[in-house]
């Protein structure tokens, strides 16, 4: 088959983008031809992929996305494919990978009622209905069961159209046999003393991932812990607001913000704790990546994959509603308790050996093949 994949933007270090690439490569490995429609592509193009950067412009994102969808429809009318797979919500998809949360729920619970009179709301609500509406035919790949509840609440989507995928953890995230050597080399490179405590935050979209919350928690540490603690944040986003926040909190010397990069496994092995206090998060692949690397996790219950932290007993989950003082307390407690971190590490490594969390892309490829145009 020829399979068309549609997504607004590709860059190497986004969670949605990494899911897309794994699934597209799994489909290609089965002999299918891959065509990609996007508005922006950053990074290398895999061999054999036909990547089309759609030439549309507009003053607003909703208008640009509408033009993008219409352009694809016209191109597909001339150059037909057997499947159309979307990683952003838009009309005329055969399969949608649900990486984003329910827009209608956010519009109704987090916004002023007047927001629903805007052109922006009308666009995104219509594109969500095109996928999830009761009369739509799109097959939906979800990452967490709670996604289904919200989409059905607002759209009445049929049960049979939802397909729960296992997490798709890459094998290179698991701690290798020489993990201790990698950790020692990493800590030498970053000039971390023997008693230094490195807190790691990973994820593009610093605002959504709660980097502001992490900085506040770091600033609230007791003096002895504060002296020893450092934070490295990694992601493809504008760091300037958070650099200013770090300066205002007198954290400049203890915080580094790095762009997305390909050597994340080294950071997972070199750190002492992963913090992920997200405001919202459909899944949170990085939580499981930390667990299988043996890195204890502190996260918020709003993340779709937060339950794995509790299942594996590999860290702590902050219950909703969020309270900054509770995050501050939990970070201090985890950093101050070396035996607990050792136990969470051992539990995470044991979980990595037994859990069925590595088959996301193959299962998605199965469902794409089974879908009907």
DSSP letters spanning 130-168 = HHHSTT---EEEESSHHHHHHHHHHH---GGGEEEPPP-
Decide: 278 and 208 in contact? Cβ < 8 Å. Answer: yes
- Residues 125, 126, 128, 132: what is their CA dihedral angle, to the nearest 10 degrees? 120
Q: In DSSP terms, which residues pair with 297 in a beta bridge?
A: 274, 315
DSSP conformation letters of 85-147: EESS--SS-SEEE--S--HHHHHHHSS-GGGGGSHHHHHHHHHHHHHHSTT---EEEESSHHH
168 pLDDT band, cuts 50/70/90, is: confident
According to the model, what pLDDT value does residue 170 have? 78
Task: Indicate whether 15 pLDDT > 90.
Answer: no
**C-alpha–C-alpha distance, residues 310 and 307, integer Å:** 5
Average pLDDT value over all residues in the chain: 96
**C-alpha–C-alpha distance, residues 131 and 296, integer Å:** 37
Q: Which of 189, 173, 182, 276 minimizes the C-alpha distance to 231?
A: 276
Task: Indicate whether 348 pLDDT > 80.
Answer: yes
According to the model, what pLDDT value does residue 35 have? 98
Residues 6 or more apart whose Cβ sits within 8 Å of residue 263: none
**C-alpha–C-alpha distance, residues 162 and 158, integer Å:** 8
Average pLDDT on 255-262 reads 95
Rounded to two decimals, what is the model's pTM? 0.83
Average pLDDT on 289-308 reads 96
24, 25, 55, 56, 177 from 46: Cα distances, Å:
10, 8, 21, 24, 30
Does domain 171-354 fall under CATH 3.40.50.2000? My reply is yes
Task: Indicate whether 79 pLDDT > 90.
Answer: yes
Phi, psi of 302 (to 5 degrees): -70, -20
According to the model, what pLDDT value does residue 250 have? 97
According to the model, what pLDDT value does residue 358 have? 80
Task: Indicate whether 171 pLDDT > 80.
Answer: no
Does domain 2-166+358-370 fall under CATH 3.40.50.2000? My reply is yes
Give 28-51 pLDDT, tens digit per residue.
999 999 999 999 999 999 999 999
Decide: 25 and 12 in contact? Cβ < 8 Å. Answer: no
Tokens of 30: 């089965």
Give 207-232 pLDDT, tens digit per residue.
999 999 999 999 999 999 999 999 99
Give 102-127 pLDDT, tens digit per residue.
999 999 999 999 999 999 999 999 99
**C-alpha–C-alpha distance, residues 188 and 207, integer Å:** 30
Task: Indicate whether 253 pLDDT > 80.
Answer: yes
Task: Indicate whether 146 pLDDT > 90.
Answer: no
Residue spans in the chain of domains classed CATH 3.40.50.2000: 2-166+358-370, 171-354
């Amino acid at each position: 088959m020829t399979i068309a994949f549609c997504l607004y933007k590709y860059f190497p270090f986004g969670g949605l983008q990494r899911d897309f690439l794994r699934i597209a490569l799994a489909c290609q490995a089965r002999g299918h031809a891959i065509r990609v429609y996007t508005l922006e592509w950053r990074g290398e193009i895999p061999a054999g992929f036909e990547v089309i950067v759609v030439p549309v412009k507009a003053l607003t994102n909703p208008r640009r996305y509408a033009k993008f969808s219409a352009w694809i429809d016209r191109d597909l009318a001339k150059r037909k494919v057997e499947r159309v797979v979307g990683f952003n919500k838009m009309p005329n998809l055969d399969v949608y990978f649900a990486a984003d949360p329910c827009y209608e729920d956010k519009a109704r619970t987090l916004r002023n009622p007047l927001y629903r009179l805007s052109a922006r709301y009308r666009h995104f609500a219509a594109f969500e209905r095109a996928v999830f509406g009761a009369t739509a035919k799109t097959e939906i790949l979800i990452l967490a069961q709670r996604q289904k509840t919200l989409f059905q609440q607002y759209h009445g989507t049929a049960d049979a159209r939802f397909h729960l995928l296992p997490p798709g953890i890459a094998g290179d995230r698991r701690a290798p046999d020489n993990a201790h050597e990698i950790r020692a080399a990493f800590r030498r490179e970053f000039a971390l003393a023997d008693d230094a405590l490195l807190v790691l935050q990973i994820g593009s979209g610093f605002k959504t991932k709660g980097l502001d919350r992490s900085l506040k928690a770091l600033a609230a540490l007791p003096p002895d812990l504060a002296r020893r603690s450092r934070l490295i944040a990694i992601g493809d986003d504008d760091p300037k607001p958070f650099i200013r926040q770090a300066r205002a909190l007198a954290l400049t010397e203890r915080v580094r913000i790095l762009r997305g990069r390909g050597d994340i496994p080294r950071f997972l092995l070199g750190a002492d704790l992963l913090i992920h206090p997200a405001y919202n998060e459909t899944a949170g692949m990085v939580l499981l990546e930390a667990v299988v690397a043996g890195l204890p996790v502190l996260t918020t219950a709003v993340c779709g994959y937060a339950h794995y932290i509790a299942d594996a007993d590999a860290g702590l989950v902050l219950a909703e509603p969020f309270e900054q003082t509770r995050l501050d307390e939990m970070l201090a407690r985890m950093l101050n308790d070396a035996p607990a971190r050792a136990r969470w590490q051992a539990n995470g490594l044991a979980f990595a050996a037994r859990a069925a969390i590595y088959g996301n892309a193959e299962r998605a490829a199965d469902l794409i093949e089974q879908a009907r145009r």
